[in-house]
A and B are shown apart, each in its own frame.
Chain A
Amino acid sequence: MKKIVTRSAVETQNLGENLGKYLFSGAVVSLTGQLGSGKTCFVKGLARGLKIKNGSSITSPSFTLVKEYHGRISLYHLDFYRLEIGQIHNLALEEYFYKDGVTVMEWGEKVGKFLPDEYLEVKFGIAAGPYRDKREIKLIPHGQVYQKIVERITN
């Protein structure tokens, strides 16, 4: 597990971009954290890391549920904010994990038992203190391949 503190949206994006460079076909990343804690911001950076065109104009697919982007590999940006697990399964959204792109899901904890055995969990927290843009981001790897990636990621 690695904890990284970012002091601005730009730094959060840069961290995302950093991670994006290491991601591979079939990678699954689960983002958890309250509203406004930086999940979507992180994904913008991650998209840049995957060489997605116009990655910085990514918005949260809270309503549309999924948005697909295509760069060096595909990016599937999911948002389970308005769903519960039964609905996620009805829509077969967990099938994205087994496609050829990178799956990044906001509110990923809602997927519960459908999470693959290996994935990267990224927990976003708003840091206590006077700086409103400060975030505490925890990178929690599940599985060897993500363990190695986390070891390499720096601020």
Chain B
Amino acid sequence: MPILGIETAIMNRGSVAILDNERIILEQYERQDDYRDRLWPAIVQVFKKARLSLEKIEAIAVSQGPGSFTGLRVGITVAKTLALCLEKPLLGIPTLEILLQGVNDDFALTESHSATLLVPLLDAKKNLVYTAIFEKENKNFSKIKVERKTEDLVLTIDEICRMIKKPAIFFGEGLKVYQSFIQKSLGNLAHFAPEEFFFPKASVVAQLGKKKLKLKKKDNLYELQPIYLRNPEISLSSQRKKNG
């Protein structure tokens, strides 16, 4: 039964995918300098390519953040609307876990790395990154488990580097800006996944959505919130103001 995946957490690009049994149809787009929305046309296109109608979808999985606030709001609103209208379950998937799955499937497991830490990085601008630390347990290649060591965080690139004491694989589009800093800071401890692992993909969103659905977990359509990880100083000051 087909699952729709929506990914809009990265500014200026996005993707939509349908996972139908093992078949994946993926539609990616990049924003050009016009104001036209690209998400909805991509959704229409992916259904066309899959030769499916909207009603055939079993569930809607959406990239939940952290990432671009604007991008997340658009993607999650569209996902919620579809879930509401089609009366199908909504599945929120944390964006950093989408990145992690991508790298795990194709890189971290196949490369024989000494690295046990897996660290996704998304550029949050102004020297900040969205990140988390995951750790590979058990080097038996038949059963590698990956455990989350920290919750999703927004930190300066310096702060995350200081938290890394063991060999680590860094991945995600944050590398575009921060790879050389990390290299200088961590030397041999730092390994880097290549560019193909920079962006989360809707195909992975759909795959993780399928897993979540199998575990009978779904999200409350009316309560699902983007994972924002607001700049902590800012939230604090506006909250103080609210409380008088």
Asked if A100 is at the interface of the complex by the 8 Å CB criterion, the answer is yes
> Does B214 interact with chain A (Cβ within 8 Å)?
no
A85 near B33 with CB under 8 A, answer no
Q: Is A89's CB under 8 angstroms from B32's CB?
A: no
Interface size on B, residues (CB 8 A): 22
Question: Does A151 sit at the interface, judged by CB under 8 A?
Answer: no
The answer to whether A86 touches B33, judged by C-beta atoms less than 8 angstroms apart, is no
Q: Could you tell me the distance between the alpha carbons of A53 and B193 in the complex, rounded to whole angstroms?
A: 46
Chain A residues within an 8 Å CB radius of B73: 92
User: Given contacts A70-B34, A70-B35, is CB(A86)–CB(B234) below 8 Å?
Assistant: yes
- A74 / chain B contacts, CB cutoff of 8 Å: 33-35
Q: Say yes or no: B32 contacts A92, CB within 8 Å.
A: no
Residue pair A95, B69 in contact (C-beta under 8 Å): yes
A25 within 8 A of B: yes
Contact A25 to B69, CB < 8 A, known contacts A84-B241, A86-B238: no
CA separation between A99 and B30, bound complex, in Å?
12
Select which of B33, B231, B234, B239 is within 8 A of A101 by beta carbon: B33
B217 at the interface (CB under 8 A from A): no
Q: Total number of A-B contacts with CB less than 8 angstroms? A: 52
Interface centre among B32, B33, B230 (most CB of A within 10 A): B33
Interface pair B33/A113, CB less than 8 Å apart: no
Q: Is B51 an interface residue (CB 8 A)?
A: no
In the assembled complex, the CB of A153 is this many whole angstroms from the nearest CB of chain B, namely: 24
Task: Assess whether A86 is in contact with B235, with CB atoms less than 8 Å apart.
Answer: yes
CA distance in complex: A114, B234 (Å): 10
Shortest CB–CB separation between residue B99 and chain A, in angstroms?
19
Nearest CB to that of B237 among chain A residues? A86
Q: Which residue of A lies closest to B239 (CB)?
A: A86
- Mark interface residues in A51-75 (1 if CB within 8 Å of B CB, else 0): 0000000000000000010100110
Q: In the complex, what distance in Å separates the CA atom of A113 from the CA atom of B237?
A: 13
**Pair B126/A113 contact, Cβ less than 8 Å:** yes
Are A92 and B68 neighbours in the complex by a CB distance under 8 Å?
yes
A116 to B123, CA, bound (A): 14
**Known contacts A85-B237, A86-B234; is A95 also within 8 Å of B33 by CB?**
no
B residues in contact with A84, CB < 8 Å: 238, 241
- B180: CB under 8 A from chain A? no
Per-residue 0/1 for B59-89: is the Cβ within 8 Å of any A Cβ (1 yes, 0 no)?
0000000001110010000000000000000
Interface residues of B (CB under 8 A from A): 11-12, 31-35, 68-70, 73, 125-126, 230-231, 233-235, 237-239, 241
19 residue pairs of the A-B complex, CB under 8 angstroms, read: A74-B33, A84-B241, A85-B234, A86-B235, A86-B239, A86-B241, A89-B230, A89-B235, A89-B238, A90-B230, A90-B238, A92-B68, A95-B68, A95-B70, A98-B11, A99-B11, A113-B233, A114-B126, A116-B126
